Amino acid sequence: MLDRWSEFRRRQRASLIASNHPRRDPGASDGAPGPAPVDPEAAQTAHPAQAPGAAETADAADAGPPQLAAIATDPDDNDDDHLRYGRIGKPMNRQSPFYIGFLGALGALIAIGLWHSVGRLTTTLTILVIALFLTLALNPIVEWFTRRGMKRGLAVLSVFMGLIAVFVLLGFVVVPPVVSQATALTQAAPTYLQQILDADWVKDLDKSYHVIEKIQTEFTKKVQDPNFLSQVFGGVLGAGRAVASGVFEGFTVLILTLYFLSSLPRVKQAAYEMVPATRRPRVISLSEEIMRRVGSYAIGQVAVAGVNATASWIMMTIVGIPYAAVLAVAVGFLGLVPMVGATLGAVVVSTVAFFDEPRKAIIAIGYYVIYQQLENYVVAPRIMQRTVSVPGAVTVVAALAGGTLLGMLGALLAIPVAAGLLLLYEEVLVPRQRQH
């Protein structure tokens, strides 16, 4: 170790000395730079009217000071600019501590700047990921149309219009009941408040602790407080901004999905051309399989959730559970979440049914227990048989990790991402390890 350190120090000192001294003659000794050789025949040929001594005298007289004369008479420099402004020095010693420290600090600053830039682009990156996921989910449908003779542009337009029609239909199903129920709740709020105040336990509590008087005093104080009013209006404005931002982001996702669908073959071709030609066929086959799995998984998950939502709506309509349409849409969206989505939907429906009538909640719970078995062993296997095959433990870990990192979006993307990584493990890593 000491010998290596000594050798490193010796090379560093030699490099530093070489970078700080003028160029040496290769034939000179290490003590001092040797004089540049002069060819008398070349000098006589270049200046036939002058002897070498006369030529040196004339050049020295024209050059001015001795330093410039030495530069001007250097036979190794033939460029006029170099003769005018001096000889180009050697580059900076790359083993210098200053050089190493400067480059290290510059690299750290660039890394920090990139990290902050990625943090500010979180929303944009999320929109891009959602658009790419929707593109891979809709691309199999587009290719199904193109295989039957339809042009890709027309197929993309048809699929996109169908997607918009689905969202519009869901809006007509969900929005009117929500608006009507919210209006009814607002109109009935004074009646509910009066019923609470007329309750016997409230009157007894007010006689003992004067609760109603204290609530009225606090309410009056809050209403007259300008800070409280500014917070209320600020919260309302913040909610309005959040709604407007959500609508804008949804519109952006749809536009990006349309662009990605229309240009997906060109984008894939451009990406494949960046891969070396010797590995391109393997990369293309693996990438196409990963994209097929992602798209098939998305379509299959939507189909399973749609079956669950439709069956739930039929059950709630027969039993008489209120808000059947809204609850069915909620069950459908929750069904997109792997593993726990269907269970969460069942809990929501059973809770609403319990507050309406406990007997309806018992019926709903029994229905979902039976339906879960049918979905796990009949519906899901038939729909997902050509999609992804991920072990149960990997599914649990992927769903937990995705949900922790990106919330519901991460949970949705976790299974296809895990399937792609599992394919790379089986087709790339394991065969390579077997060869060594």
State the pLDDT confidence band at 173, using cuts at 50, 70 and 90. Answer: confident
The answer, yes or no, to whether residue 172 has pLDDT greater than 70, is yes
Per residue in 220-230, pLDDT (tens digit) is 777 666 676 56
- Range among 34-48, 68-82, 87-101 rated most confident: 87-101
Phi, psi of 195 (to 5 degrees): -65, -35
Contact call for residues 375 and 310 (beta carbons, < 8 A): no
- Helix axes 280-319 and 324-335, enclosed angle (nearest 10): 160
Q: Return the pLDDT at 218.
A: 78
Per residue in 120-135, pLDDT (tens digit) is 887 888 888 888 888 8
Question: How much is the CA Rg of the chain, to the nearest whole Å?
Answer: 39
State the pLDDT confidence band at 64, using cuts at 50, 70 and 90. Answer: very low
What CA–CA distance (Å, rounded) separates 258 from 145?
A: 16
Q: Give the residue, 392 or 431, on which the prediction is more confident.
A: 431
- For 113-139, give one letter per residue: b (16+ CB within 10 A) or e: eeeeeeeeeeeeeebeebbbbbbbbbb
Arithmetic mean of pLDDT over the chain: 76
Rounded to an integer, the average pLDDT of 66-94 is 55
Tokens of 46: 């270049």
CA dihedral 244, 248, 251, 256 (to 10 degrees): -160
Per residue in 296-351, pLDDT (tens digit) is 888 888 888 889 999 999 999 999 988 888 888 889 888 887 777 888 899 989 98
- Helix axes 358-374 and 280-319, enclosed angle (nearest 10): 150
Answer left, alpha or beta for residue 155, where phi above 0 means left and psi between -120 and 50 means alpha.
alpha
State the pLDDT confidence band at 63, using cuts at 50, 70 and 90. Answer: very low
Domain ranges, ordered by start, for the chain: 122-274
Which class for 170: exposed (0-12), middle (13-18), buried (19 or more C-beta within 10 A)? middle
Q: Return the pLDDT at 389.
A: 63
Q: Return the pLDDT at 18.
A: 66
What CA–CA distance (Å, rounded) separates 244 from 334?
A: 23
Q: How far apart, in Å, are the Cα atoms of 327 and each of 178, 318, 347?
A: 11, 14, 11
Phi, psi of 333 (to 5 degrees): -70, -40
Q: Return the pLDDT at 112.
A: 92
pTM: 0.59
